[in-house]
Chain A
């Protein structure tokens, strides 16, 4: 027999040979495979969210870079006219601001920029922002607040302290460069290096080449009707919220355990659902939005158990001087047992949701639809197990409950009211439904939740221009 033959013989023997395998290995492998698979889903989920948001950032950046700004300033008799034309993503914008120098303005010590006037005259600022493509325009006339019955709130603008001194330097530049009334002048205020924030739209009143990056920063809007042209802008937002509502539990019998299922239903009552969370989202110029984040929620229930003929058996051990058991007393007690516990089913969920947002005036309304991945589940309390004995879920020797992953569908309506230039107060009715139960497969019942909740929170829009 040649060398190859014994090798072939060995190969044939071993290919068919079943080595003994410890059957306990299967449980370990199955659980690890499930966890690793869950990790894969989580990383995929986070990766998807990250990719989408990154794309949004890139697109936003490209739009920003593609914006072309031209600023010119012209003095016409008693007023300055500032014209800012922009081209962005194929849309043309033109904003003009007429600034009557008679209008006095000053900064007070608390960092407020105050437009003030006298009873003899009326200060006036005329602003016009126009989208050339649609011919839609927004106009604003701010008159002397002192002579108006109802002062216009935007006459007082918060000025960051670090901007204050720079504004004053701009003033001095203007003062030292008087404009020729008869000819149009282009003024380059590059040196002023003013960092006007987007929260200061009236900054365009000054003929300053501020760091304008997109069209929305030069739009001057009526403070009481300033959200009409929300379209055409993209922005990130951050939500923080708390919520409270109802959890609707459903139990279904996996292995024809209807009596046991009905008994559990009668002993456990839904109490309330509470949640807290934070989200990061991005609204495209079309109004389409995508958001993700993290949400912690608790389904609260009350377990009430009464047994008028409870039998309790305890064992009392007696030891000799050497610590050896010499006698065991069995004590049987008969009595009533009343048990009331607060059961909590906690989850942390990472949602990924798409939707649409519209804005009108100071109001914002949006709808969201998406899915959520439960990345952590924890249960505590007492239930009746399928041998009709009470047991603490935390100890969970039967491992009835799923500690790992799960999915949910969710939908919500977001209604917000702008309380600050960059901040909405938001109320959000939410519905979500678990696609798979919080129980594990070997358990005879499947336990699922649907939730109806109302979240209350705030939406912060960094770089908001309203």
Chain B
């Protein structure tokens, strides 16, 4: 079944086509949801809401660009919508702001996918959301500021803090001497 046939089948409400689309992209999209969610139960909620939106809005896909990219965008937007229902706080904890260890970045790059997801999901919500949007999903700070209704400066500082927060804890966890 070609990608176009799958999309048309889904638009027509065919369970078989929906199942194929689900099987093809569910794993990757669950990874996206896990990045944004703190707990696995949240990730499942995000995932369900995201895929419902995918099925409902598939008729808007114009076959321009990749289907995966379109679905990923829908999923990210659904995650942000879910997060916006919660009150995001943007921490100003100073211990990590000025902490600039000379880390062995090779250690950071050698983590497994599950370890990376575990570290990201344990980040404070504000850091995590901006870090995800900028680093993984390629949004600019201007776009983040409008999506999250925050200043661009706040977006930049949250990214910086999130980055330091990760470096500090990952390095400590791996007992790497600074």
CB distance from B164 to the nearest CB of A (A): 10
CB distance from A219 to the nearest CB of B (A): 51
Contact of A29 among B31, B51, B106, B117 (CB under 8 A): B51
CB distance from A104 to the nearest CB of B (A): 73
From known contacts A17-B31, A20-B27, infer whether A1 and B106 are also in contact, taking CB-CB under 8 Å.
yes
Across-interface contacts of A29 in B (CB, < 8 A): 22, 48, 51-52, 55
CB distance from B59 to the nearest CB of A (A): 10
Interface status of A70 (Cβ within 8 A of chain B) = no
- A3 touching B27, Cβ below 8 Å: no
From known contacts A1-B105, A19-B34, infer whether A11 and B136 are also in contact, taking CB-CB under 8 Å.
yes
From known contacts A18-B31, A19-B27, infer whether A11 and B52 are also in contact, taking CB-CB under 8 Å.
no
CB distance from B43 to the nearest CB of A (A): 8
Residue of A nearest to B21 (CB): A26
Number of interface residues of B (CB under 8 A): 31
CA distance A14 to B167 in the complex (A): 18
Interface status of A36 (Cβ within 8 A of chain B) = yes
Across-interface contacts of B15 in A (CB, < 8 A): 30, 441-442
- A25 touching B48, Cβ below 8 Å: yes
Across-interface contacts of B30 in A (CB, < 8 A): 18-21
CB distance from B168 to the nearest CB of A (A): 13
Across-interface contacts of B113 in A (CB, < 8 A): 13-14, 17
- A19 touching B31, Cβ below 8 Å: yes
Across-interface contacts of A16 in B (CB, < 8 A): 28
Interface mask (B99-118 → A, CB under 8 Å = 1, otherwise 0): 00000011011010100110
- B47 touching A25, Cβ below 8 Å: yes
CA distance A32 to B53 in the complex (A): 10
Interface status of A15 (Cβ within 8 A of chain B) = yes
Taking A14-B113, A36-B56 as known contacts, 16 extra A-B pairs with beta carbons closer than 8 A to each other, sorted by chain A number, are A1-B106, A3-B167, A7-B163, A10-B108, A13-B113, A13-B116, A14-B31, A14-B117, A17-B113, A18-B28, A18-B30, A19-B117, A25-B26, A26-B22, A28-B48, A37-B55
Measuring CB to CB, which residues of chain B are less than 8 angstroms from any residue of chain A? Answer: 13, 15, 18-19, 22, 26-28, 30-31, 34-35, 44, 47-48, 51-52, 55-56, 105-106, 108-109, 111, 113, 116-117, 135-136, 163, 167
